[in-house]
Chain A
Amino acid sequence: MNVPLYEKIWMWASGLLIIAFLTTIVVGVAGSSLQPPSHVETIDPTKVWNDPRFAKRGATVDDHGATVVLIAMMFAFQPAEMHVPANKPVTFRLTSADVVHGFEIVGTNGNTMVVPGYVSQFTTTFRTPGEYLIVCNEYCGLSHHLMSAKLFVDAEGARP
């Protein structure tokens, strides 16, 4: 195929740009184990309230960080408020009692789908103490826009 010189240059440049994009992703994965929430664990969606994994909901804080267990339902998160420490790893574990929901901590990259029958899990660290808004970002019914919760990130030394 006879490709004109300028287009050849353009094609090489495009190829290199794509390789550069992919390199940033590979560096993120290899260097900082940056990856989307991809936990694989199943649960009976009709029995989530009785499942031992979701019996104790809310934040459990220890010296190493915190674990937050939540159930998403139409049209609320259970619990609706939680406290976690700043600068320590926080692991969120979620499932849905009904339809597909989203769980997004506004202003951060904390974001996951919450799908009935599955357990979502991701770990993140909050550097900035303060109040965060959590919203459902997947349409789940007519009151979808009301489905939200509050996350308080407490500075070190503040109440646990």
Chain B
Amino acid sequence: MTRSDRLSLAHLWVAIAAFGVASAMALMQALSRASLDLPFRTAKMYYLSVTAHGVLMALVFTTFFIMAFGYVVVSRTLDQEPTGMPLAWAGYWIALVGTLMAALTVLSGKATVLYTFYPPLQAHPAFYIGLTLVIVGSWCWSIVMLLSYRTWRASRPDRPAPLPMHGMIATVIVWLIATIGVAAEVLFQLIPWSLGWTKTVDPVLARMLFWYFGHPLVYFWLLPAYVLWYTVLPKVVGGKLFSDPLARLVFVMFILFSTPVGFHHQFMDPGVSAGWKLLHTFLTFAILFPSFITAFTVTASMEVGGRAQGATGLVDWIGKLPWRDPLFSSVALSMILFAIGGIGGAINASFGMNAVVHNTAFIQGHFHLTVGSAVALTFMGAAYWLLPRLTGRELELSLLARVQPYLWFIGMMLFSISNHLTGLMGMPRRIYDASYGGSTIAAGWRGLTGLSAIGGVFLFASAAFFMLVMLGTGLAGKRVTPQRVEWAEPLHPVAPGRGWFDRYWVWAAVAVVLVLVAYAYPLWMHLQMPRYGSPGFKPF
């Protein structure tokens, strides 16, 4: 095993472990919402586990998987070891220590603040410090990714980055811009306040900084999934990438529009004026565009694959696709779920309409289709493809791997559709119990919360299958000569030189300008206002 693969694997195992723990917690939450009385069901346990599930899934599983995949992209497309191996390992250990700190603080009940940790709910300082270390670790990774690209480019000044690397560079740029917000919130507001050095914090300022980070965080998760869709999937279906330049355009658009949109999470907030919320709405809709292009290009690439297998009719290419291959089925099913989630996202972002769904179960239905399916299911599929290639072991229990994506799809449809509906009926998200003292209005949600719980059971079974395959492969998989990691060829030959889409400094600079347009003035205005801080509360 190469040094680079050892690095990737170390990250991958942390991601898998975080996923396993977080999935187990999710089952209990889904059952609790349906008022199923389990012996260990208490409000304290429920909110603690919602916090742990959010932190471990949204921050730890995703970040570690993305770091692992980033190093695979470097070693397999640039054909070199990541530049700065000591820094890469330092980043790994820093992020791992941070993860353990934050997770243990949550599990000990001292940080039941959910993964959004809105002040003035106040967690133990170890929670904030742990999360900071995870971010610092990811910054080390970001630097290693950029240094690796620079090393590669030094000897090939005229060639564009291979497409997978192009996507990962976009991911890194989005991440570096985005994390400024959460770093400012945690370092200047929350850590000093939780240590008692400052008495109060301004909760709206904290929310502005959090959501400055919180929405591009979504694209930090999504872009590596798109890299897999564009550059691995066409290869798996025996086809070719339909359009290389459009894929590059898509990643550039995400660099530009990922960050200046955060107020669409704060539509219902006081203290932020409606005009700025409207500007962020416009920018939010701009970011639908690259996802529309992706839907076409990736589907067209699949069709190219189906026709290469002999399909000639209008839709018979769909049947020629490798539906038994867990990477393919994961991605294809995650795309269907993402299409539904994307339409829901347009509703969430619709300025006035948001009031109907804000903080209802609609939102949890929505993001389980996006990050919980488009991202998580793609990553699981990618793990089936990646783990054997990194470890040199055959995939064990491959029948479970084949079934798992379908179980996830069924579970997610049940869970998510029912939560969208109860959300429209007004049921809040993140509640331990949905009975509201026997309210007849709340009683109307009962059947659907039961359906959502059944979805949760399917999802848990799916997650358990995934874990069994991962552990079986890692511990007992038959050793074989690993298959090569292969990337899709473009359908049409690509222009040989570097083009506009490869000028990362330019795009990063434009992105910063857009961020300033969207945030500088409202933030400055906010700081001018007479404001009163809040002391901390620990109602958990």
Contacts and interface: CB of A to CB of B under 8 A. Distances in A.
B436 A133 contact: yes
B296 A10 contact: yes
Contact of A25 (B47, B350, B439): B350
Interface residues of B, number: 76
Interface string B42-62: 011001001000000000000
A144 B430 contact: yes
Interface in B192-207: 202-204, 207
Nearest to B432: A145
B534 A11 contact: no
A124 B143 CA distance: 51
A38 interface: yes
Given A25-B350, A115-B204, A135-B426, A142 B246 contact: no
Interface string A130-154: 0011011111111111101000000
A104 B268 CA distance: 10
A99 interface: yes
Contacts of B246: 1, 3, 7
Contacts of A22: 281-282, 285
Interface string B262-302: 00001111111110011001100110110011001100100
A21 B284 CA distance: 11
Contact of A42 (B272, B354, B433, B530): B530
A14 B289 contact: yes
Nearest to B51: A139
A2 interface: yes
B120 A145 contact: no
Nearest to A141: B539
A117 B204 contact: yes
Interface in B26-47: 43-44, 47
Nearest to A100: B118
A112 B273 contact: no
A135 B43 contact: no
Interface stretch (B183-191, B356-364, B505-513): B356-364
A42 B439 contact: no
B86 interface: no
B359 A99 contact: no
Contact of B531 (A24, A28, A42, A119): A42
B270 A145 contact: no
A112 B327 CA distance: 42
A7 to B, nearest CB: 6
B472 to A, nearest CB: 38
25 contacts: A1-B249, A2-B245, A6-B300, A29-B351, A35-B352, A44-B532, A74-B537, A74-B539, A100-B121, A102-B359, A104-B428, A106-B442, A109-B356, A111-B268, A116-B534, A117-B534, A133-B426, A133-B442, A135-B426, A137-B429, A138-B118, A141-B537, A142-B47, A144-B432, A145-B433
Interface of A: 1-4, 6-7, 10-11, 14-15, 17-18, 21-22, 24-25, 28-29, 34-46, 74, 98-100, 102, 104, 106-107, 109-121, 132-133, 135-146, 148
Given A42-B531, A107-B425, 16 more contacts: A1-B245, A2-B492, A7-B300, A14-B289, A24-B350, A36-B274, A74-B537, A104-B359, A104-B360, A106-B425, A106-B427, A111-B358, A115-B204, A137-B358, A139-B50, A144-B431
